Amino acid sequence: MKFGTKAIHAGLEPDSATGAIMTPIYQSSTYVQEAIGVNKGYAYSRTGNPTRAALEKSIAALENAKYGACFASGLAAIDCCIKMLKPGDEVISTNDLYGGSYRIFTTIFEQYGIQFHFVNMLNLENIEQKINANTKLIWIETPSNPMMNIIDIQAVSHLAKAHDIKLAIDNTFATPYLQQALDLGADIVIHSVTKYLGGHSDVVMGAMVVNDEDLAKEMYRIQNSSGAICGPFDAFLVLRGIKTLHLRMQRHCENGAKIAHFLKNHPKVDKVYWPGFEDHPNHQIAKKQMKGFGGMVSFSLRGNQLEDAKNLVSRTKIFALAESLGGVESLIGHPATMTHAAIPYEKRQESGVVDSLIRLSVGLEDAEDLIEDLEQALA
């Protein structure tokens, strides 16, 4: 089944009671049982809900996975993943990642004896140097947030498998439309469903998908035990959003390319970070493992002045100054003071998150209007 057909049909069946073509919102906390231990597949909605189950099947199908679980947020999905580890275990992560991921790693899980190493993964030797007997997980974002670094999933997978280490990919920026990380060798794929999968800035949700049965059992055990599940109405909204994922991603990619080329030729712009440029680090890897280059673009201003960046983000009229990304509308943000403020200044500088760096989530508006908006703001 092709991707677009999966997006519309995978995991979904007409309602058995009424024939409704859209999955109903099962707004119920509990379910009547015929006898002790005898039910129709559901007993309590923390453990399982029919609307959530349909969404979990849908997202798993899009990632070519056997098992999927949905959570109250992307960070709740990350929380589930790291809870599979135990005190003394070590994780190797990219040094350029979402600030919320860095925060939960360092301020929550390090307190429980899990050690994290943050390295530049453009060079595989940096990963190899940190591997030891305690290394249990490698954590990747590709494209990374906000520098759009491209990490070779297959190469890291081969390295991980050689040392019996699990590989987790945060696939939020690429989505399963552009990149299917399990097929490239990942063991775990994480999504902030809030972003492109939902696609309309009206839901906060996370997801985790796997193919390994033992990993799936742990995933469902933690999901049920910790209880950070999404509600049925949110699941319904994301099921609706996913039906247009392939169409939306095509437009995100088209608009992203136009914006990136405009910025690259602007005299006030210093550097533009977008995987579609031939001189972007690992551009050839991006071409190999992605179907397109996405709608996320970051750029820095000449002079690298914080005030210049603050002034620019306050002057756009179509690009809205806001957290998050992946919605139909275009957003502009300042990583150093917004999404990545949790990362210490020195570490931000090392990874390229300088004071003048600006991140764009390029939406579905007419590209000409978006370019005009950036042009007037830069002027």
CATH number at residue 340: 3.90.1150.10
- Report the distance separating Cα 353 and Cα 127, nearest Å: 21
How many domains does the chain contain in total? Answer: 2
Q: Which of 216, 242, 268 is the last residue of a domain?
A: 242
pLDDT value at residue 369: 98
Check whether residue 120 and residue 215 sit in a common domain.
Answer: yes
Beta bridge partners of 20: none
The pLDDT averaged over each successive group of 10 residues in the chain (379 residues) is: 95 87 95 92 95 98 98 98 98 94 97 97 96 98 96 98 98 98 98 98 98 98 98 98 98 98 97 98 98 98 91 97 97 91 80 91 98 97
pLDDT value at residue 349: 81
Check whether residue 277 and residue 150 sit in a common domain.
Answer: no
Q: Which of 206, 222, 242 is the last residue of a domain?
A: 242
Check whether residue 143 and residue 289 sit in a common domain.
Answer: no
pLDDT value at residue 350: 80
Strand-by-strand arrangement of the 135-141 sheet: 67-71, 206-210, 188-192, 166-170, 135-141, 90-94, 115-119
- Report the distance separating Cα 57 and Cα 243, nearest Å: 14
Check whether residue 185 and residue 249 sit in a common domain.
Answer: no
Enumerate the active-site residues: 46, 98, 170, 195
Longest Cα–Cα distance in the chain:
73
Note down the domain range covering 308.
Answer: 245-378
pLDDT value at residue 198: 98
The burial class, CB within 10 Å (0-12 / 13-18 / 19+), for 135 is: buried
Q: Give me the half-sphere count of Cα atoms (radius 13 Å) on the Cβ side of residue 43.
A: 8
The burial class, CB within 10 Å (0-12 / 13-18 / 19+), for 351 is: buried
pLDDT value at residue 278: 97
Check whether residue 213 and residue 362 sit in a common domain.
Answer: no
pLDDT value at residue 289: 98
> What's the predicted TM-score (pTM) here?
0.96
Check whether residue 234 and residue 275 sit in a common domain.
Answer: no
CATH code at position 187: 3.40.640.10
Check whether residue 124 and residue 271 sit in a common domain.
Answer: no
pLDDT value at residue 353: 87
Check whether residue 177 and residue 286 sit in a common domain.
Answer: no
Check whether residue 260 and residue 350 sit in a common domain.
Answer: yes
Check whether residue 197 and residue 284 sit in a common domain.
Answer: no
Tokens of 210: 């796997």
Check whether residue 208 and residue 255 sit in a common domain.
Answer: no
Per residue in 305-357, pLDDT (tens digit) is 899 999 999 999 999 999 999 999 999 999 989 988 777 888 888 878 889 99
Q: Which of 193, 220, 242 is the last residue of a domain?
A: 242
